[in-house]
Chains A and B, each alone.
Chain A
Amino acid sequence: MARRARDDDDDDEVEEEDEEEAYDLEDEEEEEDDEDDYEAEARGKASRSTSSSRGGGGGGGGGGRKRSREDNFIDDSAIEDDEEDDDDDDGGGRPKKKGGGGGVRGFFDEEAQVDEDEEEEDDGEGEDDFINDAGADLPDEDVVRGSRHRSMPMRDEEEDIDEIERQVRERYARSTHIEYGEEAAEVEQQALLPSVKDPKLWMIGHERETAICLMQKFIDRSDLQIKSVVALDHLKNYIYVEAEKEAHVKEACKGLRNIYASAKITLVPIKEMADVLSVESKSVDLSRDAWVRMKLGIYKGDLAKVVDVDNVRQRVTVKLIPRIDLQALASKLEGREAVKKKAFVPPPRFFNIDEAREMHIRVERRRDKDSGEYFEMIDGLMFKDGFLYKTVSIKSISTQNIQPSFDELEKFRKPGDDMNGDMSSLSTLFANRKKGHFMKGDAVIVIKGDLKNLEGWVEKVEDETVHIRPKISDLPKTLAFNEKELCKYFKPGDHVKVVSGVQEGATGMVVKVEGHVLIILSDTTKEHIRVFADHVVESSEITTGITRIGDYELHDLVLLDNLSFGVIIRVETEAFQVLKGVPDRPEVVLVKLREIKSKIDRRTSAKDRSNNMISSKDVVRVVEGACKGKQGPVEHIHKGILFIYDRHHLEHAGFICAKAQSCLLVGGSAGGRRYGYVRSKAWCFEISSKHFAITGKAAPKRTSYELFGGGGRGGRGHDALVGKCIKIKSGPYKGYRGRVKEVTGVLVRVELDSLMKIVTVKRDDIADTPTVATPFREPRYSLGGETPMHPSRTPLHPYQTPMRDPGATPIHDGMRTPMRRGWAPMSPPRDNWEEGNPATWGSSPAYQPGTPPARPYEAPTPGSGWANTPGVSYNDAPTPRESNYGNAPSPYVPSTPVGQPMTPNSASYLPGTPGGQPMTPGNVGMDIMSPIIGGEGEGNWLLPDVLVNVLRAGDDGPGVVREVLADGSCRVALGSSGNGEIVTVLPTELEVIRPKKSDKIKIMNGNFRGYSGKLIGIDGSDGIVKLDDTYEVKILDMVTLAKLAS
């Protein structure tokens, strides 16, 4: 076609044609002679004979040199065109030209390659190479002609044919060598890559035809300074020209019909030069049965299997799982215009003829012309065995790095052809093998060729060749195989590690070998994993694989997108397997990282069937449901659902999901005894005592629930808030009052007084009502007698219990009612004490530094307590307690001032003061840590400069403590920066503002009381604090930290 174009071209080219005819004739002769000769020789002779012929013909001067060169290549390509030429023999000049045209085309390609090689090789030689090369041909011509301007040493003497042949061979030997240059080490390759000094590659419009014209022009004119021309089949409208300068390119293109003078010439970046010529080779390795992926259309991303490759037309026939909407197809065939839903892509499904027939779609059965196979045809689509056969352009599929997953392969595998499926998947696997795939000592099996199924061990690996030592002793010591003929081989029982693929990192024992797929029993999950033999190595290591992506780790409880939650039971390369919190049946979902909303890191508890409190790490037994009989420690609790880890449970990494109500606490009593007590530990008391003080007074916001998550709170059936009247201070229900019905984690269900409905609000959003006191009083009365109610009591009991006896009697006599009320709540602690948990005493904060137990004894005025009227003390006593419960300022608030002067004394009564006043000790328990014996304990907690929330009607809002008065009340400057009015506020009307991360804080309790620092992190209920003075980092309970005013 290029040739034809040329024929139409300029007149001067007509002359050339004659000459070319001559070449063609020569070529044919050559082919006859040299059929058996190897290529180089053929070339050598070709050049020899052409030159001789040319010598005879006395063909045209300047161009001659070039031509001789060209002939070599024509000769090459002529072999391809053999048949054609033979046919053409009798056809006269014209057809021959066509054959010659083929030759030229062949030349062209060949030239491109050789030029590339030369270009690479040229680095050192500089730009004259082309001419030099031609010079190398000169001797041949000169031998015959002897009329050359240039003189070369060789030319001086007549050389015999052998000598010439030798030279030619040398030359081509060299070039062959270059052709294999690809095998050189990478560094050498790098050296061959083009650099700034080398001829540049230029890109111009139009293609092959133009390239031919340019070639012809080059042959005609010696002054053209271009080096090569490249036209790529896949690149329309462009050719590449190799030249030193743009001007040279322009010069060469000048006058060419196919190139507009204005055509833009673009410089190809050096980096891309190599790519220009290596493109072709990439698509070459597309073979039948290879796996590819579609790049376009509705099948985009789908796996497909190559059925047929048509390299000439650049088309491939692939086998796909069809995504066909039969409904739409049917309506289309009937001529109805189906409404096009754009975003809808039908799911892949095997095509079923019967289904189609049911929808009245005409299915033709036709025989394919080429393959002779039968296909079902619908509307131009070809189906066979349910697969869609589709012919697409090579460009529309991607062939590189296809790693079909097991699922996809399974789908493609129809029953009956499993072995073939294996083989074809192997072919793809090989393409994706990493370098250094085989290592010495690997057990391998031969999968192709005569020695198929031969087992052996790798001895040595050299690039693609693998030397193996066969298992059968009669065979030679080592055999060399191509990498692709081998596959790793494992036997059942081998312990292996997966080194690539989805399961990367897992280890296990091979249970079964199915062709080249292994079934492995994972060490950790005791589950079966299917992997390719190529993806594993033998290893004695035992690991789970990866256990963490992002913030989420194996066995974390996570909140998912749709508000469901679950435990991560397996971490895969890009996704998690999550056992969802559905109690009835195990539901496992695969979620991506982005589908996880957050980690649920809250310590909550739930009640079991007998109302025992279950917290995490408690051992429970499932008594009903699907997992009945299982037993194990509770790992997570969320919304009344337990995640239990049973070591003996093999599925879901040992996790069982069950309703708390269908479980029984192991060791808990069926009658609702307080398991929490038994197992409560010293630290529980510590926390609870702090909590006691702080929830009571300083931070009503702080939920005891959270604090007691562990064990301290464990024993109690109720949250302190339940039954309380509260006011909602923020959120949509701001301003409403109501009674707390239920507390779940940070959420509180409140029955609104005004709306007669129950709403759920955040715990942080509620404040205790300062006014209505009665409602909560009632339940307390009743509760007090029989059940222990509040965890906050715990720390108190050491004090209270001893006091009871001495104190009780007189009061009992005097005032029955208040007494009872006072004591009722105390019973649980006593309980606890009696249950024999003396160990906790020692660590109880009451005995901690700063609170010398002796103090109370030393305190003077044993009688001073009595100095106050008993009535006062009664009134007084409940007050602090009240606030402990629910942070609700009690109705007795007004009386506090009265009590306050008294309380300091009360401290001294504490244990064993004979006339001790029984009620007050409750207070003392709280502020026992503080050096100041303040009235309310509250005062002790606050320190100057601390940011607080004032909860007094009229003065609501933030403030800064300026001064703590002796009676426990504070002088607070209103406003968050403390520049407002200074008011004196009772401690009960204050709450400390809980610091956030990186806030400046002040420590209100413990050994570091009074220190200031910075909160550098929060870990659950602990804050990580960096002290200002010493730069020490301390971990302190959050409740002891208060935000400093900025």
Chain B
Amino acid sequence: MFFHIVLERNMQLHPRHFGPHLRDKLVSKLIKDVEGTCSGRHGFVVAITGVEDVGKGLIREGTGYVTFPVKYQCVVFRPFKGEILEAVVTMVNKMGFFAEAGPVQIFVSNHLIPDDMEFQSGDVPNYTTSDGSVKIQKDSEVRLKIIGTRVDATEIFCIGTIKDDFLGVISDPGAAV
């Protein structure tokens, strides 16, 4: 789920940036530092949409660096249990398949794939229904439901299921070609 929230961060800025463009430097550094990171609480920071407030800088003794408390608005993405996501399949193996929804990796175990879909090994490993009408392979797009999340310091890993109504393949790369 995406959120637009305000976060705060202490930014350290090198003295060489002190000048008329200090604020710009600060913002660009902030963007560089923060976008794409992940925190367990808020999830992935997808984009910074604005800087609300830059506090008073504090010069660090010895280094000359200045620490600014910066409040910024950002869009974060955090997957939740029970959430429905659309994701792209990245890898298929006999235990299930991995899919990615933006920065989040989701594993769908073969126990959580409908029973009528069977694993077919070969050049392009895939899960196929017995009549062959539905196929999950690399680059397929699937709609899945997250049933569990594990949050590490830098990564969120999810387990998903497609064994439910309205879940499963939404576009098949094989069909398009």
Please, how many angstroms separate the alpha-carbon atoms of A523 and B158 in the complex? 11
The answer to whether B37 has its CB under 8 Å from any CB of chain A is no
Minimum Cβ distance to chain B for residue A616 (Å) = 27
Q: Which of B126-160 contact A (CB under 8 A)?
A: 146-150, 152, 159
Interface size on B, residues (CB 8 A): 16
The answer to whether A748 has its CB under 8 Å from any CB of chain B is no
Instruction: List B contacts of A495 (CB < 8 A).
Output: 148, 150
* A523-B91 in contact given A493-B81, A493-B159, A512-B109 (Cβ < 8 Å): no
Closest to A523 in B: B150
A527 near B109 (CB under 8 angstroms)? no
The answer to whether B93 has its CB under 8 Å from any CB of chain A is yes
Minimum Cβ distance to chain A for residue B11 (Å) = 31
A527 near B95 (CB under 8 angstroms)? yes
Q: Which of B103-132 contact A (CB under 8 A)?
A: 107, 109, 111-112
Minimum Cβ distance to chain B for residue A629 (Å) = 11
Please, how many angstroms separate the alpha-carbon atoms of A528 and B94 in the complex? 11
Please, how many angstroms separate the alpha-carbon atoms of A495 and B146 in the complex? 14
* A651-B93 in contact given A492-B159, A509-B148, A521-B159 (Cβ < 8 Å): yes
The answer to whether A650 has its CB under 8 Å from any CB of chain B is yes
Please, how many angstroms separate the alpha-carbon atoms of A688 and B81 in the complex? 58
Closest to B93 in A: A650
The answer to whether A510 has its CB under 8 Å from any CB of chain B is yes
Please, how many angstroms separate the alpha-carbon atoms of A650 and B105 in the complex? 14
Instruction: List A contacts of B112 (CB < 8 A).
Output: 492, 511-512
Closest to A510 in B: B148
Instruction: List B contacts of A548 (CB < 8 A).
Output: none
Q: Which of B63-116 contact A (CB under 8 A)?
A: 81, 91, 93, 95, 107, 109, 111-112
A542 near B150 (CB under 8 angstroms)? yes
Please, how many angstroms separate the alpha-carbon atoms of A619 and B36 in the complex? 28
Instruction: List A contacts of B161 (CB < 8 A).
Output: 492
Instruction: List A contacts of B147 (CB < 8 A).
Output: 491-493
B93 near A521 (CB under 8 angstroms)? no
Closest to B160 in A: A493
Please, how many angstroms separate the alpha-carbon atoms of A528 and B113 in the complex? 14
* A492-B148 in contact given A512-B109, A512-B112, A521-B109 (Cβ < 8 Å): yes
Interface string of A779-805 (1 = CB under 8 A from B): 000000000000000000000000000
Instruction: List B contacts of A519 (CB < 8 A).
Output: 109, 111
B93 near A511 (CB under 8 angstroms)? no
Instruction: List A contacts of B146 (CB < 8 A).
Output: 493
Interface size on A, residues (CB 8 A): 19
The answer to whether A526 has its CB under 8 Å from any CB of chain B is yes
Minimum Cβ distance to chain B for residue A537 (Å) = 16
Please, how many angstroms separate the alpha-carbon atoms of A651 and B148 in the complex? 22
Please, how many angstroms separate the alpha-carbon atoms of A762 and B147 in the complex? 59
The answer to whether A494 has its CB under 8 Å from any CB of chain B is yes
Minimum Cβ distance to chain B for residue A523 (Å) = 7
B91 near A528 (CB under 8 angstroms)? no
B111 near A512 (CB under 8 angstroms)? yes
A493, A511, A527, A650: the one within 8 Å of B111 (CB) = A511
The answer to whether A585 has its CB under 8 Å from any CB of chain B is no
Instruction: List A contacts of B109 (CB < 8 A).
Output: 511-512, 519, 521, 528
Minimum Cβ distance to chain B for residue A625 (Å) = 14
B95, B148, B149, B152: the one within 8 Å of A526 (CB) = B95
Q: Which of A497-543 contact B (CB under 8 A)?
A: 509-512, 519, 521, 523, 526-528, 542
Instruction: List A contacts of B152 (CB < 8 A).
Output: 542
The answer to whether A648 has its CB under 8 Å from any CB of chain B is yes
Instruction: List B contacts of A512 (CB < 8 A).
Output: 109, 111-112
Instruction: List A contacts of B148 (CB < 8 A).
Output: 492-495, 509-510
Closest to B81 in A: A493
Q: Which of B27-80 contact A (CB under 8 A)?
A: none
Please, how many angstroms separate the alpha-carbon atoms of A494 and B81 in the complex? 10
B159 near A509 (CB under 8 angstroms)? yes
A526 near B91 (CB under 8 angstroms)? no
Please, how many angstroms separate the alpha-carbon atoms of A494 and B150 in the complex? 9
Q: Which of A245-287 contact B (CB under 8 A)?
A: none
Minimum Cβ distance to chain A for residue B156 (Å) = 12
Interface string of A470-496 (1 = CB under 8 A from B): 000000000000000000000111110
B159 near A526 (CB under 8 angstroms)? no
Please, how many angstroms separate the alpha-carbon atoms of A510 and B107 in the complex? 12
Central interface residue in B107, B112, B152, B159, by most chain A CB within 10 Å: B159
Please, how many angstroms separate the alpha-carbon atoms of A542 and B150 in the complex? 10
Instruction: List A contacts of B91 (CB < 8 A).
Output: 648, 650
Q: What are the 10 tightest A-B residue pairs by CB atom distance, in nearest-first order?
A: A493-B148, A493-B147, A512-B111, A511-B109, A492-B147, A509-B148, A509-B159, A511-B111, A519-B111, A493-B81
Apart from A511-B112, A519-B109, 5 more pairs, CB < 8 Å: A491-B147, A511-B159, A528-B109, A528-B111, A542-B152
Which residues of B are at the interface with A, using a C-beta cutoff of 8 A?
A: 81, 91, 93, 95, 107, 109, 111-112, 146-150, 152, 159, 161
| Cβ contacts A to B, 21 pairs, < 8 Å | A492-B147, A492-B148, A493-B81, A493-B146, A493-B147, A493-B148, A494-B148, A509-B159, A512-B109, A512-B111, A519-B111, A521-B109, A521-B159, A523-B150, A526-B95, A526-B107, A528-B109, A542-B150, A650-B91, A650-B93, A650-B95
